[in-house]
Amino acid sequence: MVKVYSTITCPYCVTLKEFLKEHNIEFEDIDVSQDEKARDEMVEKSGQMGVPVIDINGQTVIGFDREKIKQLLKITD
């Protein structure tokens, strides 16, 4: 399961979600600007307020770290 903690105004979040869609990765998009509980959950996992934060099967990735995300999702291209 992939969770993306994001906001609608974050350009890196948009890029990340486009990347996941291009690779046919299903994900749950959580807008932390609208969901206080999710924002608290994100801060607890990542230790920070910045977005995007990605949870890939319990592994937390901060920011759009393309190589780390590809490694965790076993994407090759």
* pLDDT, tens digit, 9 for 90 and up, residues 3-36: 999 999 999 999 999 999 999 999 999 999 999 9
The CATH number covering residue 10 comes to 3.40.30.10
63: containing domain: 2-73
Determine the Cα–Cα distance for residues 60 and 41; give it in Å rounded to an integer. Answer: 12
Instruction: Provide the CA 54 distance to its chain's centre, in angstroms.
Output: 3
Q: How many domains, in total, are found in the chain?
A: 1
Please provide the size of the chain in residues: 77
pLDDT of residue 77: 73
In percent, how much of the chain has pLDDT > 90? Answer: 94
Output the pTM of the full model.
0.93
- Give the residue carrying structure tokens 């995007």: 52
| Strand partners for 60 | 55
Q: Are 51 and 5 in contact (CB under 8 A)?
A: yes
Cβ atoms of 62 and 76 within 8 Å: the answer is no
